[in-house]
Structure 1
Amino acid sequence: MSSFDLAIVGGGIVGLATALAVSERFPGLSFVVIEKEAELALHQTGRNSGVIHAGVYYQPGSLKARLCKEGAAATIRFCRDHGLPFEQCGKLLVATDDVEMARMAALQERCLANGLEVERLDAAELTRREAHIRGLGALFVPATGIVDYGRVARTMAALVAERGGAIITGAEVRAIREEPAGVVIEAGGQTIWARHMIACAGVMADRIAALCGLDLDFRIVPFRGEYFRLGSDKDAIVRHLIYPVPDPGLPFLGVHLTRMIGGYVTVGPNAVLAFAREGYRFGDIRLRDMREMIAYPGFRKVIRSNFRSGVLEMWNSLSRRRYLQLCRRYCPELTLADLAPYRPGIRAQAVLRDGTLVHDFLIRETSRTIHVCNAPSPAATSALPIGNEIVDRAVARFGWRQA
């Protein structure tokens, strides 16, 4: 049996940022990161749009609002310190009808409430800045940027290893037993004992929490985000990131045009209910995942209250032509021939028993464990301050003392 002061379950960017914070603030603490996949950062970290979010959408005073703004600055500092490519190209939120114009005004107020620089553009100025984009108006948020989060996570992992942290891959957690003096973890054929445990398990967050005996008031529901990549002739089609003005009743931001660090442009994502927690293709179905979702009252309530939008998302997923129409609302020159397949992602969305979608980051605790239970976008942007937030909670919960 291997013994550590701390075990961190999950080798995505949030788990690695937590490990990095531990190594910086408690250099004498022994710890291990446990990842079920053969490589780190394969799921939400490695399958997102690479956006450094500024914090436009989030409720003022919420964890998301605070940690996203801090995280954008921290991500850029981290990239500069370690020679990683990034670009602060800014984002345009484009309104294409009167309803979106009204929503845009509310978003502008939220930007100001969250302490963000924002500029309102009329249609003529929008066209001047983005010749291929059409709309009635737009908000420009200059703080938004782009980065390769997979590369950021791997750099974090290298730093953690340099500082003496252990990283175990290919070790899926099968059982957890919390004892008076510590936590026993069965993972990948190994038994690991740790005085304390922190779980950053993404789409498996509720299952890891359940293994620790937490009385769950939520479940994870997976939504697949499908992307397309534009051809190389469209690499310069936009200078900024182009987003629609989102429906405030939904937790998803809508299909957008995203410049990528590799020099190309992607379109997406949509948000389609996935039939497997790691189901990246439409036909991926896992019976255990389906049974758990259907049995959960919160999931059934979500389906009832969002049935129409869910059917539309599914239709858009099945029809590339309908998906294209979402893009053509603000970029009318795009054609079906421009849309090439690109890697999809999964959003791990926590849902409460009453059917409420959890919008903020959600953290739960037991006497010896801390669980990051809801950390969808902008978790990658916010990862570094999330790591420090978790360590702050560990200090309060576990009585850790810095040397």
Structure 2
Amino acid sequence: MKKKQRIGILFGGRSGEHEVSLLSAASILKAIDKKKYDVVPIGITKEGRWVTASDAHALLTGQQAPENPLLAGDPAATPTAAVIKKGEAVIIPPVPAESLQPLQLSASAELARSRPALDLDVIFPVLHGTFGEDGTIQGLFELADIAYVGSGVLGSAAGMDKAAMKRLFAAAGLPQTPWLSLLRSEWNANPRACTKKIEAALKYPVFVKPANLGSSVGISKVHDRSELAAAMDLAASFDRKLVIEQGVGGPGAKPRELEVAVLGNDSPEASVVGEIVPGAEFYDYDAKYLSDTSVPIIPAKLTAAESKQIRQMAVEAFKACDCAGLARVDFLMEPAGKKGSKKKPRIFLNEINTLPGFTSISMYPKLWGASGLPYKQLIDRLIQLASERHQEKRQTQFSRV
């Protein structure tokens, strides 16, 4: 009988998207084929503690994780290795310095010693936002030499940092709306000079965003100067780097918001194009998760040429950021001109999301469902891609001897 792969589903985390992560993980845990995989849930609390088994289930269902001591099956194991390789460590302290202290083994550590290691074949991280899709956790997986779903350190970091991402898009010749980036320290030191710089480069309305955050957290649409300071302060509360983008379509005009799901490693493929008609002025956090007024249209009503162009741009964006596994690529399309106008609406690349929402009703799985790949099979394919990428990496030599 073929041995079942052991899959760690990693969720939660310290980011502002903690709750979204729990929803994604719950959907995956419900849908994943238990006949094909042994599944190990691994949670991270908002405080940064790592929990497994029943404690992870408690976190997933909104219960308080118990204050257990750090457990490990092997006194020589590091705390991170204990969690990733064994699956039996219960808590990792949130303060890095504490992990340098000797492991304090409780009475139940003897039981842990007697259990076989839950060596994981693949980790499926469902950690949206900071510390989950920004390359930090991916670096940990690389150090542990374990296969994982999604982009590597570079692709994850580039996909998270909107300023770095936009520079990569520009280098690849992909069309974007005008934008600029400022540091929180620049804004705090001289708001008036920053305002002048923004207004010299961009036209209202503008969107102000934290560079390193997702799910539209901390994003504001600014119609004029009177709204700019509050938007900058909000974005600066979430990140040291701010991105300001010129709106598409001009005052009073709503661009079309289009999305494409990309799947693959070195030879990625694009799904059909979908469209979101937001119930709010733009597709903000509330419109995404707290309201049912936003309407997804799959496939989007586009010409064959427009659809082909957007899908090609999605793959190019994926490659420009050196992504792997999965990503959702978002576009803005100018509103249609006056009736009879021969001018074609321009299409702008907005951003790439390397760990998009993964509930069964999230756009990424729905786009692939509409493209002929249902949710459960999509999970299988992502696990397969993670294994293939890990095997390919093993062809790389890291030492001269």
Report the TM-score when normalising by structure 1.
0.31
Structure 1 or 2: more strand by fraction: 1
Structure possessing the higher relative contact order (Cα contacts under 8 Å, 6 or more residues apart) = 1
Report the TM-score when normalising by structure 2.
0.31
